[in-house]
Amino acid sequence: MRIDVSFPGGLRVDAALRGFTIHTDQPRPAGGEDSAPTPFELFLASLATCAGIYMLGFLRQRHLDTEQAGVTMSLERDRETGMVGFVELELHVPPEFPQKYAAALVRAVELCAVKKHLHQPPEISVKVVGGQGDVN
């Protein structure tokens, strides 16, 4: 997969992939226009929506109502580092959801690829290309 990033102005940063453009910006207090989510907010949203697609699949496979279902993600930051230290995913199920499926639903959501990558993060290489020569 290839993602190309461009800088359309201000503190906006766009990512192009598979024919889509994902827009990001910074909040006004940080010097941005607050015209789009921040890159970190998109990172967090990717976890929540990944959980959501697994939940949706689980519910649809069992012909259960999806309109009254959803996911709420909340997080707590570590006071010392400012990094996210705890994430909670609440799976909101419709009233007729059989309680016998609760553990299976949790197991299904835990298959989310974003969550799995957070547990086993990839190695990331950064290099400069262009200018007066390639630099690693």
26 and 52 fall within a common domain: no
% of the chain exceeding 70 in pLDDT = 97
* pLDDT band, residue 132 (cuts 50/70/90): confident
Give a three-class secondary structure readout of 55-76.
HHHHHHHCCCCCCCCEEEEEEE
Q: Is the pLDDT of residue 134 over 60?
A: no
Within-domain flag for 124: no
* pLDDT band, residue 131 (cuts 50/70/90): confident
30 and 6 fall within a common domain: yes
50 and 109 fall within a common domain: yes
SS3 content of the chain, % helix, strand, coil (to 5): 30, 25, 40
Residue 73 and residue 54: Cα distance in Å, rounded? 14
1 and 24 fall within a common domain: yes
23 and 54 fall within a common domain: no
Distance of CA 20 to the CA centre of its chain: 16
91 and 29 fall within a common domain: no
Q: 83: domain CATH number?
A: 3.30.300.20
18 and 56 fall within a common domain: no
35-65 residue pLDDT tens: 999 999 999 999 999 999 999 999 999 999 9
Residue 106 and residue 109: Cα distance in Å, rounded? 5
Strand partners, 22: 15
* pLDDT band, residue 135 (cuts 50/70/90): low
Q: What is the mean pLDDT of residues 13-32?
A: 98
Within-domain flag for 127: no
Within-domain flag for 125: no
Number of domains in the chain: 2
> What is the SS3 assignment for 130?
coil
95 and 64 fall within a common domain: yes
Burial of 112 (0-12, 13-18, 19+ CB in 10 A): buried
Q: Which domain holds residue 3?
A: 1-36
